[in-house]
Amino acid sequence: MKNSKGKMIGKIITYIIVIGLAIIILIPFFWMISTALKSDADIFAWPPEWIPRPPQWHNFADAWNAMPFSKYLSNTLFIVILGMTGEMISETLVAYGFARFDFPGKNVIFFILLSTMMLPFHVTLIPTFVIWNKLGLVNNFDPLVLRSWTAWGPFYIFLLRQFFMGIPIELDEAAEIDGASPLQTFYHILLPQIKPALLAIGVFTFKGYWNDFLGPMIYLGDAEKYTMNIGMYFFMGGPNEPPKWNYLMAMSTIIALPIIILFFAAQKYFIEGVTFSGLKE
């Protein structure tokens, strides 16, 4: 009886801690929505109001129409779709090679590949820009899209390699006996079994390209090619213009919604893909 009471108390304490932490984490999100629904005069009101009265729902439409966000959305989707496609194809093939083929220096190359995760993006920023500039591709989508086809995500390659190594090699041997080529084995036998990892990588890459601000800011100089994140930056105001915080928060909410929806839609596979990858040998 005492053990059951102790377990019940432990669960209650755990739930209280989890709910408390969730509330703390969600406070910025709630404040973003609250600010998006406020008028200019109510944003800095004291004491602050969490629920605007009345809510300014037109802020979302006004913010969208204040800049050519329809064009920015199409630019963003172009980069996201090509970037996701490039990464998932190139990194899956590279991971398959590391998991299923033996070649001289394989372990050394894989170690060097993983060691690149310790290099911050900012360290390679200048030399990468110089390369794209020498190629004459600055102020184009090419630097933001072509990089994805070079399997530049070592963490994703590691994740997929772990999944491939967890699949019995006997399946490859059986397919080879039946006359299947390595590419056919990869596409028809192995690829369907790593769907959780692919969905997890899809969520990661979508979030990365959708939220990317630094890359488009560096490589895109033409306003017609701006993405949504760059367009949202103009709400920060200028030397003689105050920031439009309600418009900024309204667009932040709009931009955050696809990621939230995608995460909850693929939550099961996302967690499975990240968790099981470390358990397969």
* Residue boundaries of the structural domains of the chain: 64-276
In this predicted model, what pLDDT tens digit does every residue of 227-260 receive, in sequence order?
999 988 888 877 777 888 889 999 999 999 988 8
Predicted pLDDT at 78: 94
Predicted pLDDT at 277: 47
* Alpha-carbon span 143 to 132, nearest angstrom: 7
Cis peptide bond upstream of 258, omega within 30:
no
Predicted pLDDT at 70: 92
Architecture, CATH, for domain 64-276: Orthogonal Bundle (1.10)
- Below-50 pLDDT ranges, the chain: 277-281
What residues contact residue 224 under an 8 Å CB cut-off, 6+ apart?
71
Cis peptide bond upstream of 54, omega within 30:
yes
Closest CA to 150 of 123, 172, 166, 132: 132
Predicted pLDDT at 271: 64
Predicted pLDDT at 279: 44
- Token readout for 163 is 């999944």
pTM more than 0.85: no
Predicted pLDDT at 278: 43
Predicted pLDDT at 270: 62
* Alpha-carbon span 243 to 237, nearest angstrom: 4
Residue 254 has a CB neighbour count (10 Å cut-off) of 17
